[in-house]
Amino acid sequence: MLVLGIESSCDETAASVVEDGKRVLSNVISSQISIHSPFGGVVPELAARHHLEAIIPVMEKALHEASVELNDINLLAVTQGPGLIGALLVGISAAKALHYVSNIPLVGVDHLHGHIQSAFFSDEPIEFPLVLLVVSGGHTSLFYSENVGSYRLLGNTRDDAAGEAFDKVAKMLGLGYPGGGIIDRLARDGNPAAFRFPRAFLGKESYDFSFSGIKTAVANFLRDYGNPASENKTSYRIEDLVASFQEAVVDMLLEKAFKAAENFKVRHLAIVGGVAANSRLRKRFMEEGEFRGIKIHLAPLEYCTDNAAMIAAAGYYKYLNEGEEKNPLEFEPYSRRKEVPLKQVNFSSKT
């Protein structure tokens, strides 16, 4: 089955053709980083406007690179949410138009389920049950899964997402946008133990995350010891500062993910999303997984950030399980996930 995936939830306009949920035939992404960089973050209205300009050329290129025509496509899959409503509407409207003129079945895909599916693009087989950590600029969530396409939410961030905290700290330091990659590169020459920033673990029974505290701690540090964005000299190395900040974020992610793996007695743990490209995170998770005897599955770097291949793959499995949308021309985007995290978990059972 050939699936055309469409992604427009934030600041990447993307389209991809994927065969049978696994074989990526094309993966085209039009980034808006240069558009939003002067503002230090994504401007929703600008994002929607540029999606409008890019969506048709990107879809045409995806079909061309896959060497297929629209009438060869068996299924359309589009990001339904969460994301920026204006941006999502562009992708959904394009998908509905294609469905209307071609009668190709259409499914709406949850963006986080798409990220989860990116782990399966790796050549290494993933065994169930497993725990999945989705960590990106807009989302930080833990899931438990017993099979492909079935995901049980364990916890979410209560405030900032991990990637959002990276971007905001980078903005404080005058490093530019997006901040995650910049901090990652600088931190490689820094000492992660130079400064001790707080870790928010939110209690023994919680799988939720919180990154607003560490963001505030960095702001207080800059107030007390100087900010290289506004001063010529500081009493510390910026490499040490960002390495220490990064280490705290990775500690929080690692603690929750491995706690879930231990409580649910799984031997496989997958990490996906834009922040999964962070080199320190990848190293720490691999080391901890080897120590604990848990197999770590990291999404391939080219599929960590937002892309349409993951949406096509997730759409494939949703269609197999549920069929197409009941009213394909009427389903609407959503900005936030509707699923409620589990408040109590029976650790003696996997169900």
Please determine, for residue 339, whether its predicted confidence score (pLDDT) is greater than 80. no
Phi, psi of 146 (to 5 degrees): -110, -10
Computed over every residue of the chain, the mean pLDDT equals: 91
0.85 exceeded by the pTM?
Answer: yes
Q: How many CB atoms lie within 10 A of CB 107?
A: 24
Task: In whole angstroms, give the CA distance from residue 61 to residue 78.
Answer: 17
Could you tell me which residues come within 8 angstroms of residue 195 by beta carbon, excluding any fewer than 6 positions away?
221, 236, 240, 241, 244, 245
Among 31-45, 56-70, 202-216, the minimum mean pLDDT is found in 31-45
**How confident is the model over 219-244, as pLDDT tens digits?**
999 999 988 877 667 889 999 999 99
Q: How far apart are CA 170 and CA 175, in angstroms?
A: 5
Q: How confident is the model at residue 324 (pLDDT cuts 50, 70, 90)?
A: confident
Query: What domains can you pick out in the chain, each with its CATH number?
Result: 2-116+304-322 (3.30.420.40), 124-298 (3.30.420.40)
